[in-house]
């Protein structure tokens, strides 16, 4: 069974499903001939459609709004970085390496 044969089988399987979802457009009929007793009138053109004003284009950078889930995610990442830094400092302090703050309450600490 070749690839070409398989694609034809798939197409035959999917085609009825597509017809259910999107039925063909209704058939167009010819207009009935005008009655013989009335003179032909000139066709009247429909009135022009009102022009719609174009919608303004907004770029995301122009808006001061921030998606709350993005802000919450950034805050969560920043807090996790601070925790990781504190844990790393404590682990290194246990092994004799001092990485603590150099300034505590405004006084410079010399190691």
DSSP of 35-51, one letter per residue?
PTTSPPPPPPPPPPPPP
The pTM assigned to this predicted structure is 0.35
Burial (CB < 10 A; 0-12, 13-18, 19+), residue 89, is: middle
Structurally, how many domains does the chain consist of?
1
Q: Is residue 70 part of a domain?
A: yes
Q: Is residue 46 part of a domain?
A: no
Q: Is residue 90 part of a domain?
A: yes
What's the domain range around 73?
Answer: 66-111
Q: Are 106 and 93 in contact (CB under 8 A)?
A: no
Q: Is residue 74 part of a domain?
A: yes
pLDDT digits (tens, 9 = 90+) for 84-104: 988 988 888 888 887 766 766
Q: From first to last of its 111 residues, what are the pLDDT tens digits of the chain?
A: 566 777 788 888 888 888 888 877 777 666 666 666 655 566 778 777 777 777 777 666 666 676 788 888 999 999 999 999 889 888 888 888 877 667 667 777 775
């Amino acid at each position: 069974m070749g690839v070409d044969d398989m694609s034809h089988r798939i197409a035959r399987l999917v085609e009825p499903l597509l017809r259910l979802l999107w039925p063909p457009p209704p058939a167009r009929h010819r207009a009935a001939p005008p009655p013989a007793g009335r003179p032909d009138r000139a066709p009247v053109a429909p009135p022009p459609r009102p022009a719609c004003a174009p919608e303004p284009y907004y770029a995301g950078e122009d808006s001061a709004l921030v998606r709350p889930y993005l802000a919450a995610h950034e805050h969560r990442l920043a807090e996790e970085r601070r925790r990781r830094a504190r844990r790393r400092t404590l682990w290194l302090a246990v092994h004799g390496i001092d990485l603590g703050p150099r300034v505590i309450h405004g006084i410079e600490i010399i190691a």
